[in-house]
């Protein structure tokens, strides 16, 4: 492993290295198609107008939609006909809103549509592999450079393109955005070991919800990787039924990327009252959501009293003050699982994953073990440009039931446990081991 002194020396030179990083880092990308001036002008103007119209900022958030910010975006977006440069300029502009649910995406950016094949994140001052499908890359390996650039310098170069609600979240998600990496590049690992990565040839296995008995008849384990497809929640519900008689159920939602809030799973596990999230949005957005709810359910009783009638006046576009609702007590469903619930969490638990976790935290129904979740929500408004480009904009914010800030803060575990480089290398899941200890000795 690289020495601590060497690591510190490297960090001191990052600002100098960043001056030379760009050409080296991106030399291995394929040639980009072109966007003519008319297309670029329309796209950047539309992005700006949509952000102005729909984005709902955090309390005390920095002013990210200033004239100077837009002028800088305008120069970058119109300065070149290269589509990749336009995409990156737009990503940088949108990322200044500091919201993980507000981002720009172009399907062209990753033509191979292949991931990196591994996930790495900061740990103990290093960039460390957490999981890997690449045979020659193991958990616990330290990544010292990417394309001949020190890893921290590479992050600082790419940070401005990552939409997230905190710097911690940006660091934790760098390796989840393959388009920030060349399709082919070489990494240097500790011990000066070189590893070539070719995303064009990589095939990542599909994910599914799985489970097993850890202690037959006593402790069961369910891992849910995401909620972006219905089969993830359906699989979890089936496993809860299968483990109905367990004394303790360990639900692993580490690195769960979210999707649709798993309300049925919450009902199946929640055997006590809990308070729902508080929510806030501009009046206009709240009215639109209320209209949608009425259309879907023909029942607006779940919306705040102010909006129950959903009367839309010709000048409702003038209603820009925020409306806040929620925080009400939700009663449990009959027949919910009665055993103990332990949830395994970390910074990769985001959005719908956090909507699952929070009721167990605020009601005391479950014990959270691991690391603080990411802290990101937003009910994105989606605009498709019909050319492969998409803009998502957060129009609503969630707050903890007591009204305190959630965005960029996340949900703290009841029992904090952090993996170490040594535990990753030895294959010890210290978070799961702690959960088993709690289940055995409550």
Question: What does the buried/exposed string (b/e) look like for 409-439 if buried means 16 or more CB atoms within 10 Å of the residue's CB?
Answer: bbbebbeebebebebbbeeebbbbebbbebb
What's the pLDDT score for residue 313? 39
Domain closes at, from 201, 221, 248: 201
Model confidence band, residue 202 (pLDDT cutoffs 50, 70, 90) = confident
Q: Is residue 363 part of a domain?
A: yes
Domain closes at, from 154, 173, 201: 201
116/256 same-domain check: no
What's the pLDDT score for residue 340? 97
pLDDT at 217 over 90: yes
pLDDT tens-digit series, residues 221-278: 999 999 999 999 999 999 999 999 999 999 999 999 999 999 999 999 999 999 999 9
Q: Is residue 345 part of a domain?
A: yes
pLDDT at 30 over 60: no
Beta bridge partners of 280: 324, 397
Spatial CB neighbours of 258, under 8 Å, sequence gap ≥ 6: 226, 227, 228, 350, 351, 352, 353, 354
Model confidence band, residue 311 (pLDDT cutoffs 50, 70, 90) = very low
Domain closes at, from 155, 175, 201: 201
> Is the pLDDT higher at 46 or at 291?
46
Q: Is residue 296 part of a domain?
A: no
Read off the CATH number of the domain in which 227 is found: 3.90.226.10
Residue 245 sits in which domain range? 210-277+327-375+410-440
- Tally of domains within the chain: 2
Model confidence band, residue 294 (pLDDT cutoffs 50, 70, 90) = very low
* Torsions phi, psi for 121 (to 5 deg): -155, 165
What value does the mean pLDDT of the chain take?
A: 84
Predicted TM-score (pTM) of this structure = 0.82
Q: Where is average pLDDT lowest: 14-18, 205-209, 393-397, 404-408? A: 14-18
Q: Is residue 368 part of a domain?
A: yes
Read off the CATH number of the domain in which 126 is found: 2.30.42.10
340/366 same-domain check: yes
Q: Is residue 52 part of a domain?
A: no
Tell me which DSSP letter residue 387 carries.
S
What's the pLDDT score for residue 60? 47
Model confidence band, residue 66 (pLDDT cutoffs 50, 70, 90) = low
């Amino acid at each position: 492993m690289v020495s601590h002194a060497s690591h510190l020396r490297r960090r001191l030179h990052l600002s100098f290295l960043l001056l030379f990083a760009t050409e080296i880092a991106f030399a291995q990308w394929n040639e980009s198609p072109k966007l003519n001036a008319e297309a670029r002008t329309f796209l950047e103007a539309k992005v700006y107008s949509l952000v102005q119209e729909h984005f709902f900022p955090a309390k005390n958030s920095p002013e990210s939609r200033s004239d100077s910010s837009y002028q800088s975006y305008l120069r970058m977006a119109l300065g070149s006909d290269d589509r990749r440069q336009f995409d990156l300029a737009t990503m940088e502009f949108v990322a200044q809103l500091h919201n993980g649910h507000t981002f720009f995406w172009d399907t062209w950016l990753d033509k191979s549509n292949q991931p990196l094949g591994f996930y790495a994140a900061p740990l103990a001052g290093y960039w460390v592999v957490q999981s890997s499908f690449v045979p020659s890359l193991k958990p616990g390996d330290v990544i010292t450079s990417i394309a001949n650039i020190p890893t921290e310098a590479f992050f600082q170069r790419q940070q401005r393109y990552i939409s997230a609600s905190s710097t911690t979240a940006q660091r934790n998600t760098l390796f989840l955005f393959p388009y920030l990496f060349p399709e082919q590049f070489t990494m240097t690992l500790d011990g000066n070991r070189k590893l070539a990565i070719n995303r064009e040839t990589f095939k990542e296995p599909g994910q599914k919800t799985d489970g097993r008995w850890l202690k037959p008849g006593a402790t069961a384990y369910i891992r849910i990787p995401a909620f972006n497809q219905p089969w993830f929640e359906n699989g979890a519900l089936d496993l809860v039924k299968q483990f109905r008689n367990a004394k303790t159920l360990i639900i692993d939602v580490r690195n769960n990327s979210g999707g649709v809030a798993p309300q049925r799973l919450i009902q199946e596990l929640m055997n006590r009252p809990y308070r729902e999230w508080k929510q806030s949005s501009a009046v206009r957005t709240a009215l639109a959501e209320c209209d949608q709810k009425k259309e879907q359910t023909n029942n607006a009783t779940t919306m705040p009293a102010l909006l129950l009638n959903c009367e839309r006046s010709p000048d409702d576009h003038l209603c820009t003050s925020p409306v806040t609702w929620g925080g009400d007590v939700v009663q449990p469903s009959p027949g919910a699982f009665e055993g103990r619930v332990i949830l395994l969490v970390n910074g990769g638990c985001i959005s719908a994953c956090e909507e699952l976790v929070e009721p167990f935290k605020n009601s005391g129904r479950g014990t959270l073990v691991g690391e603080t979740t990411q802290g990101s929500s937003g009910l994105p408004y989606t605009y498709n440009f019909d050319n492969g480009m998409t803009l998502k904009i957060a129009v609503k914010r969630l707050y903890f039931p007591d009204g305190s800030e959630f965005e960029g803060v996340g949900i703290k575990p009841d029992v904090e446990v952090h993996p170490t480089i040594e535990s990753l290398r030895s294959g010890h899941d210290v978070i799961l081991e702690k959960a088993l200890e709690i289940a055995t000795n409550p």
